[in-house]
Amino acid sequence: MKEESIGLEEVVAIGYGTRRKVNLTGSVASVTSKDLEKRSVTQSSLLLQGKMSGISVRQSSGNPAENNASLLIRGQNTFSGAGNSPLVLVDGIESSIDAVNPGDIESVSILKDAASAAIYGSKAANGVILVQTKKGVTGRPVVSYNAYLGKGSPTMLPEMVNSWEYATALNEASVNSGGNPLYTEDQIQKFKSGADPINYPNFDHMNYVFGSGSGMENKHDLSVRGGTQGTQYLVSAGYFNQQGLIKKNSEDQYNLRLNLDTKLRDNLTFSAKLSGLATNNKRPMAYDGTMGGIIRGAMRNSNAILGVYPDGYYGRNESIHPEADLESKNFIKANGHSFYSNAEMGWNISKDLKLTGQVGYTYGNSENITFRAKYNVTPDYNVSPNYLRNTWSKSNALTMQTFAEYTKSINNHDIHLLGGISGQTYYYKYIMAYRDQFPNNELYEINVGATANGQEGGGASRSRLASYFGRLNYGYMDKYLVEVNFRYDGSSRFPGISRWGLFPSFSAA
């Protein structure tokens, strides 16, 4: 946004435009890059934490693949089940806030109530987040570089019962149920003395698992902004690497962005925004096919079971063996690529009338690989067979919208009219394949596995959404304000008799 001021004169983004805060009738919260740049975060969703009222930001995992925060507008009272995430629009096109590099964000506005969000229709039931990215500046190129280095650590780990206390508790439980003690007093003392850590250990499995990774993370952002009176540009690139608290768990993320704004004529402007995101994630896996199985195993194994033996084998528990899983060649890999494009043309037909057309296209593909190796846990027990599961998916969305704005001030009366149409198509497809009994743990291509237990699957979906929307703003002396919004949505996801829905709102101040 070009205008920046303080208090009620501040200009904030709303649906399909901007408005002075003093003229708002709905509930809108906004924050600019001046505040956001003070925070050292690696995900854009975390920028909003503690910055605005009415939005809940929760990060439920420290796993590099799952450390994006979930956003809830108007707090925990949001209904869950069918989905409670707000609609996120980046430069007017539906996207994900974490697809934007934090350093590229100019401002974020949150439409929290129905009066503000109704113009976005059925998708705005849980609120709307409007993200505006930075633009170029007039003048010589300005180069900016930001770096971040950090180290993660567990917020809290459960305090595990030591081995001699565990043995004592088992004895009490056995006696109370009418049985004999499972450990002699001499054995309990051997656990306590630590003189024989192989046969009478006090091994903390949680510390072993969560102490295996470095937890280091680093982020680098480079941007160039410049331009002439007629054309301004921004080019930025970002790299982020995070090592997990558990070894073999890491993520690499790459961002690229190009924003271009140009003035074709005195009354004609054009802007184009292109961005790309690539992610590579790897994590270890338990025998049950999940990374969480390693953590659950570490919590369930007692300190009286040694994690790793000198002979190279692992704890003599054939059902729970987190160390064997962690040291095996099991892995889960997820690679993704996303592309976002947005072109906008603005035509000032007259002093009071402006026409805007916008086209947005997004594309994404991903590959998920799950490989369980064949490996020994004890001399008499191994995990087998090895298997591989591959899933490929791709999606694309095309959005086209056109809207006109009419603004007129007559004496103390201010009128603003907006009306437009929008269309969106969405396509998604996935393919899955499974094979097992690979000849070794190094060849994990899908065509190498045995076909006897092979599985294949897939699916696709396509949907369309057509919309008509409008808004009327009336103000008298900047004191009495009225706003009316509506959106009329038609979705191919519903049968013809109930395909269309009207979403109106009215507010006054």
CA 111 – CA 115 distance, rounded (Å)? 9
Q: Which residue has the tokens 């096919």?
A: 289
pLDDT of res. 11: 75
Final residue belonging to a domain, choices 203, 230, 257: 203
Q: Is residue 309 part of a domain?
A: no
CA 356 – CA 269 distance, rounded (Å)? 10
Reference 275, options 449, 121, 100, 132; nearest CA is: 100
How does pLDDT run along the chain (509 residues), one tens digit per residue? Answer: 333 443 445 677 777 887 777 667 778 888 888 877 777 777 888 888 878 777 888 877 777 766 677 888 876 554 444 468 889 999 999 999 989 999 999 988 888 888 888 899 888 888 898 999 999 999 999 999 999 899 988 888 889 999 999 999 999 999 999 999 999 999 999 999 999 999 999 999 999 999 999 999 999 999 999 999 999 999 999 999 999 999 999 999 999 999 999 999 999 999 999 999 999 999 999 988 899 999 999 999 999 999 999 988 998 767 789 999 999 999 999 999 999 999 999 999 999 999 999 999 999 999 999 999 999 998 889 999 999 999 999 999 999 999 999 999 999 999 999 999 999 999 999 999 999 999 999 998 999 999 999 999 999 999 999 999 999 999 998 889 999 999 999 999 988 888 999 999 998 98
Q: Is residue 72 part of a domain?
A: yes
Question: What is the per-residue burial (b if ≥16 Cβ within 10 Å, else e) of 88-109?
Answer: bbbbbbbbbbbbbbbbbbbbbb
Look up residue 162 and give its DSSP letter. P
199 plus 227 within the same structural domain: no
Is the distance from CB of 462 to CB of 427 less than 8 angstroms? yes
- CATH number of the domain to which 71 belongs: 2.170.130.10
Q: Which amino acid is at 140?
A: R
Q: Is residue 428 part of a domain?
A: yes
277 plus 387 within the same structural domain: yes
Spell out the alpha helix ranges (H) of 265-340: 292-300, 322-327
- CATH number of the domain to which 226 belongs: 2.40.170.20
CB proximity list for 210: less than 8 A, separation 6 or greater = 154, 157, 245, 246, 298
Q: Is residue 216 part of a domain?
A: no
106 plus 252 within the same structural domain: no
Nearest-5° Cα angle at 306, 300 to 312: 120
Tell me how far CA of residue 26 lies from CA of 249, 431, 507, in angstroms.
Answer: 44, 45, 7
Tell me how far CA of residue 383 lies from CA of 370, 378, 386, in angstroms.
Answer: 15, 10, 8
Q: Is residue 299 part of a domain?
A: no
177 plus 247 within the same structural domain: no
pLDDT of res. 46: 84
Q: Is residue 379 part of a domain?
A: yes
261 plus 389 within the same structural domain: yes
CA 353 – CA 401 distance, rounded (Å)? 17
pLDDT of res. 48: 82
Number of neighbours of residue 472 by Cβ within 10 angstroms: 15
34 plus 183 within the same structural domain: no
490 plus 375 within the same structural domain: yes
Q: Is residue 301 part of a domain?
A: no
pLDDT of res. 5: 40
Q: First CA to last CA across the chain, in angstroms?
A: 25
CA 173 – CA 165 distance, rounded (Å)? 12
Final residue belonging to a domain, choices 150, 177, 203: 203
Nearest-5° Cα angle at 282, 204 to 329: 65
Q: Collapsing DSSP states into helix, strand and coil, what is residue 140?
A: strand
CA 13 – CA 122 distance, rounded (Å)? 20
CA 337 – CA 47 distance, rounded (Å)? 23
Question: Domain range for residue 357?
Answer: 221-286+331-508
CA 246 – CA 215 distance, rounded (Å)? 8
Residue 149 backbone phi and psi in degrees, to 5: -130, 130
Q: Is residue 76 part of a domain?
A: yes
130 plus 251 within the same structural domain: no
122 plus 243 within the same structural domain: no
**Cα dihedral: 43, 48, 51, 54 (round 10):** -160
Count of domains forming the chain: 3
Question: Concatenated DSSP letters for 192-230?
Answer: HH-S-TTTS----HHHHHHTSS--EEEEEEEEEEEE-SS
Q: Collapsing DSSP states into helix, strand and coil, what is residue 314?
A: strand
pLDDT of res. 69: 75
338 plus 282 within the same structural domain: yes
pLDDT of res. 13: 78
CB proximity list for 95: less than 8 A, separation 6 or greater = 88, 89, 131, 340, 362
27 plus 93 within the same structural domain: yes
84 plus 230 within the same structural domain: no
